[in-house]
Structure 1
């Protein structure tokens, strides 16, 4: 591929839209996970008493289900990303790839 083809691919509207949507999705899910994780770490650092509170008067504290919830949330967010990428973004990806192939074979719009 020469520089002209690369530039045409990078300027392709479908390619730009695909990159933009994937970027927005991944950053949104990353920010959600970071907020939850940092929030949990702040609780650990500044409010240990709350996390040590018993859930039902037994040995299980509030910190245990919260910690497990963070792990489950990370799996759920991965599932959300996979679902959206496979069902919404794959069609856009296919369109972009067809246009990229046309560009690299010299048949694309000039």
Structure 2
């Protein structure tokens, strides 16, 4: 037997909007992160000479290190983007849904 509060929440059009918007953002950000990692791994597997180019003449640090670090930093930044939306527009929608459900 289903709880009437859950049914009321599921029936709220704002809940459907929240689920749709949050899912779309999560899918987009996940695709960006996975795409970046996948591309990097493909370069490592099939064209490692690209990443083996030294940053400076005779230097030991190659271009692969900053590219790898950039991918990690981009992942952190995209997590921040998701947090911004989760604590902003998504939180507002969630508060509206709770307020309307408890009326």
Q: Give me the TM-score of the superposition, normalised by structure 1.
A: 0.84
1:89 is aligned to 90
Deviation at 1:56, TM superposition (A): 1.8
1:64 is aligned to 65
Q: What is the RMSD computed on CA atoms of the aligned residues?
A: 1.6
**In 2, Cα distance between the equivalents of 1:87 and 1:7?**
25
Structure 1 runs (4+) greater than 3 angstroms displaced: 1-5
**In 2, Cα distance between the equivalents of 1:22 and 1:65?**
31
Residues 55 and 61 of structure 1 are in contact (CA less than 8 Å); yes or no, is this contact kept in structure 2?
Answer: yes
**In 1, Cα distance between the equivalents of 2:100 and 2:28?**
28
2:48 is aligned to 48
**In 2, Cα distance between the equivalents of 1:21 and 1:100?**
20
Residues 52 and 63 of structure 1 are in contact (CA less than 8 Å); yes or no, is this contact kept in structure 2?
Answer: yes
1:107 is aligned to none
1:33 is aligned to 33
Count residues in correspondence.
102
1:15-68 deviation per Cα after TM superposition (whole angstroms, max 9, x unaligned): 111111111111110000000000000000001000001112211111100110
Q: Secondary structure at the match of 2:53?
A: coil
Q: Give me the TM-score of the superposition, normalised by structure 2.
A: 0.89
Unaligned runs of at least 5 residues, structure 2: none
Unaligned runs of at least 5 residues, structure 1: 103-110
